[in-house]
Structure 1
Amino acid sequence: MKRAAQVVFATVWWLTFALVCAVMFVGATVCFMVTVPFDKRRVIQHLYSCFWAQIMFYLNPFWRLRITGRSKLPWRGKAVLVSNHESLGDILVLFGLYRPYKWVSKAAVFRSPFLGWNMHYNGYVPLRRGDKASIVEMSKRCHAWLDMDMPILMFPEGTRSPDAEVKAFKDGAFRLAVEANCPLYPIVLVGTSDTLPKHGLMVKIAAKCHVQVMDPVDPQQFKGDVAAFRDHVRELIIAEKARILAAR
């Protein structure tokens, strides 16, 4: 009986998601055409996308989202944001920050209908993992956005954790912050693994998600040591995640 209920819920969820994406993409296209001539940073487009993503939480009374520390994030200015990565649901909850930033995401996602097309509208940054030319281009585009006082958001694990444990971090986000000499904001996600699975389509009925924005870390204190910077931030995220889980 429980399995049948979950199958029904997942089916309804994905059908709703597809309908929402189709409808909201029409609005995204209108938003892009109207705002791109004067909104070079595409802030309005991004905030529209935030609302689009949050609809799946607004429609589902069994998915709860708590965000703390949002006010720490800048509306304008150079900054790098990094978060642990538990599931596809991370994208939905991080849009709930309702703050300007540019995603760095795998290039394949940009080819998906509606969502990928809207990512192009937003000027998000594609990346093909393991492709040196793509990595160089990604870094160039990230620096261009930072020079326009637009923060960058990256998942330093590179891919979703299969067991919700924080995996090893890659250097990219931390090297970017060092090169741009800008603050890096660690963001902790808890409970998002209870939304969308790493593999498969079986969406879970209930989820209790928490997003915690931590205080910014100044890369200058590490004197160019990217590895030390990276490991320090990872330990901060692990410790804060354990604290949140213990308090539940």
Structure 2
Amino acid sequence: MRACGTLRGAIRLLFSIVFWTFFAVSSLVFFLGAVVVWAVTTPFDRNGRVLHLYSCFWAQLYMYVNPLWRQRVEGRERLPWKGPAVLVSNHESMGDILVLFGLYRPFKWVSKASNFKLPFIGWNMALNGYVPLVRGDRESVGRMMVHCEKWLERGVPILMFPEGTRSPDGNIKAFKDGAFQLAIKMKCPVIPVVLTGTAKTLPKHGLVLQTTANCHVQVLPPVDPAPFNGDVQALREHVRNLMVSEKARIEALPASAR
């Protein structure tokens, strides 16, 4: 039994070394490509849709080349190619980023400001015009809201993790108000996105990966904020309840059906 555990540990370690080596080398190559895409497309694509779709392929590459990571996306047709919307997703791991890029629709991420300092990945986030946020900093939150409003005014959706941080146990935590305040103020739909299985991709602490992951992305129907009459709390809890229910439904399915 101990020998089997040791062998599994060695395989995970080898798998992780290969993955992170490929990640580092490919990130340099793809960032150079992103600079070219940005320079060529910016004059006619001020909202950066082409660069974002390039970034989608970059992120999805790590799912494509990994035979042990599976991904399934359902409901993608509910996402707009153009027009304001606030996408909200639960958050299980850093792997959520790779998986959500698989939506292949234009949107701007709201992400921790520290992520923008990461070599290649963070620099590409800045090129894309994604929205930085310092958690717990009231001034930063205010700037983030203004930044998001400007993108929504230009007809560009945004994507936020309303839990604010990754869930330690996979259960959907309480939501913060920001995404729902934006939807009400800008009179645009909230589109819930439910993730399962991503916790086994990239760990919160450490660099040793799980060797297998079965990821499912479910896009739910848009929620119109108008019937909530400006009640942020009611809209927030309605959306969260929809997502909790859908996550439970998916997790109750046989593994082969996810």
TM-score, normalised with respect to structure 1: 0.99
Matched residue type, 2:65: L
Distance 2:246 2:208 in 1: 29
- Verify: 1:31 aligned to 2:37, yes or no: yes
Q: CA deviation at 1:64?
A: 0.4
Distance 1:129 1:58 in 2: 32
Q: CA deviation at 1:77?
A: 0.3
- Verify: 1:237 aligned to 2:237, yes or no: no
Q: CA deviation at 1:88?
A: 0.3
Matched residue type, 1:105: S
Q: Which residue of 1 aligns with 2:231?
A: 225
- Verify: 1:16 aligned to 2:36, yes or no: no
- Verify: 1:203 aligned to 2:203, yes or no: no
Q: Which residue of 2 aligns with 1:76?
A: 82
- Verify: 1:86 aligned to 2:92, yes or no: yes
Q: Which residue of 2 aligns with 1:170?
A: 176
Distance 2:246 2:177 in 1: 21
The equivalent position to 1:100 in structure 2, one of 106, 111, 122, is 106
Q: Matched residues, percent identical?
A: 60
Q: Secondary structure at the match of 1:160?
A: coil
Q: CA deviation at 1:199?
A: 1.2
Q: Secondary structure at the match of 1:187?
A: strand
Q: CA deviation at 1:132?
A: 1.4
Q: Secondary structure at the match of 1:175?
A: helix
Q: CA deviation at 1:212?
A: 0.2
Q: Which residue of 1 aligns with 2:149?
A: 143
Q: Secondary structure at the match of 2:111?
A: strand
Q: CA deviation at 1:26?
A: 0.7
Distance 1:55 1:190 in 2: 20
Distance 1:141 1:234 in 2: 24
- Verify: 1:116 aligned to 2:156, yes or no: no
Unaligned runs of 5+ in 1: none
Q: CA deviation at 1:190?
A: 0.5
Distance 2:235 2:66 in 1: 38
TM-score, normalised with respect to structure 2: 0.95
Q: Secondary structure at the match of 2:103?
A: coil
Matched residue type, 1:129: R
Q: Which residue of 2 aligns with 1:130?
A: 136
Distance 1:76 1:10 in 2: 38
Q: CA deviation at 1:106?
A: 0.6
Q: CA deviation at 1:94?
A: 0.3
Matched residue type, 1:110: F
Per-residue Cα deviation, 1:106-126 (whole angstroms, up to 9, x for no partner): 100001100010001100000
Q: CA deviation at 1:163?
A: 1.0
Distance 1:165 1:15 in 2: 31
Per-residue Cα deviation, 1:84-105 (whole angstroms, up to 9, x for no partner): 0000000000000000000000
Distance 1:20 1:56 in 2: 10
Per-residue Cα deviation, 1:45-90 (whole angstroms, up to 9, x for no partner): 0000000000101110110000000001000001000000000000
Q: Secondary structure at the match of 1:57?
A: helix
Distance 1:195 1:222 in 2: 37
